[in-house]
Amino acid sequence: MNNFSRLVLMTVCLCCLMVPGIWLLVPGAQAQSSSQKFATWLELLRAEARSTGISQETVAAAMADIKAPQQRVINHDQKQPEKTQSLEDYVATRVSKERIAEGRRMLRRYPIWLGRIERQYGVQRRFIVALWGIESSYGQHTGKLPVIQSLVTLAYDGRRGDYFRKELLEALRILDAGHIALPDMKGSWAGAMGQFQFMPSSYRHYAVDANGDGRIDIWNSIPDTLASAANYLAKAGWQNDQTWGRPVKLPGKFNFFLAGLKTRLPLSRWQALGVRRSNGRALPHRELQASLIIPDGPDGPAYLIYSNFRALRRWNRSNSFAVAVGTLSDRYNVKK
């Protein structure tokens, strides 16, 4: 075969590669390459997990059925909200009559455990219960997705791979310690677990064995669940002699440059500036440091917030979330 013939043959072969359907082996080869890439990555992850002290048995069992990333998990992670919900709408949706009534029922149902936890951690029971209500409707909606599968997917996807890789290793340690069985380790698409939606790293830092059975079960044990949340808030700087904040009324000509978390003034100063409680009465006669927030702008609701509001933002860095938890706790009509 001369050089010209060889050139013609090579050109035909390249064209076949470029035209879909000519060589059926090409798409299969690409798919196999993608599958092999994930399998190789997963094997390296298994080796890393074992190198950190997690048992071979736990690693093998946890990843035995994982063959590919879960697309629905990736879709959740990449999905952008279609619109921004106002604070009023956000709170109204979460502080419903049903959730208020159920929270009051939980306060009546668990007075002994709530009392013990309140005394031990210095967090008023109404805030623990309100956080419980906002996070999972008092344990009714804790997530149904396998946590390990979700975290493997997010660690492999790459957008926040390093973060989720660390969370995955923490989740494997929880399994290795025997705190929860693999089939019961369910959670949200992002790997948040249990009745207070702890990420695995939060579990390690804050979850506690309140009932003393040797396991920390934030899925099924009410004592462990409630005490873990209280421990988190306590370590976030909770002050048990204060509330979270309060809705307020502003004077007609108010300097809105004073709004924002960076400005802290004593209540007496806010009083002098014309700020009043929502019913028009004077502010409390305490020299608490407070910030003013107006999440929806000058025409929206205004709040003076205290130290405990900032502790709630340690849990979830959202003003709307913290206002919802505080508002729900107020609706229970419990003084403590």
pLDDT digits (tens, 9 = 90+) for 68-117: 998 889 888 877 554 578 999 999 999 999 999 999 999 999 999 999 99
Could you list the beta-strand ranges (E) of the chain: 145-146, 186-187, 245-249, 260-266, 276-277, 289-293, 302-305
Average predicted confidence (pLDDT) for the chain:
90
Q: Are 184 and 219 in contact (CB under 8 A)?
A: yes
**Distance, CA of 110 to CA of 188 (rounded, Å):** 26
pLDDT digits (tens, 9 = 90+) for 244-284: 999 999 999 999 999 999 999 999 999 999 999 999 999 99
pTM to 2 decimal places: 0.85
Per-residue confidence (pLDDT) for residue 32, from 0 to 100: 55
For the cut 80, the answer to whether the pLDDT of residue 127 exceeds it is yes
Q: Which amino acid appears at position 139 of this protein?
A: G
**Domain limits, the chain:** 245-305
Per-residue confidence (pLDDT) for residue 160, from 0 to 100: 87
For the cut 50, the answer to whether the pLDDT of residue 210 exceeds it is yes
Residue 102's contacts (CB-CB under 8 Å, 6 or more residues apart) are: 133, 137, 138
For the cut 90, the answer to whether the pLDDT of residue 13 exceeds it is no
For the cut 90, the answer to whether the pLDDT of residue 335 exceeds it is no
For the cut 80, the answer to whether the pLDDT of residue 185 exceeds it is yes
For the cut 90, the answer to whether the pLDDT of residue 14 exceeds it is no
Residue 318's contacts (CB-CB under 8 Å, 6 or more residues apart) are: none
**Distance, CA of 61 to CA of 121 (rounded, Å):** 37
For the cut 90, the answer to whether the pLDDT of residue 24 exceeds it is no
Per-residue confidence (pLDDT) for residue 83, from 0 to 100: 54
Q: What angle do CA 298, 302, 305 make, to 5 degrees?
A: 140
Q: Are 187 and 203 in contact (CB under 8 A)?
A: no
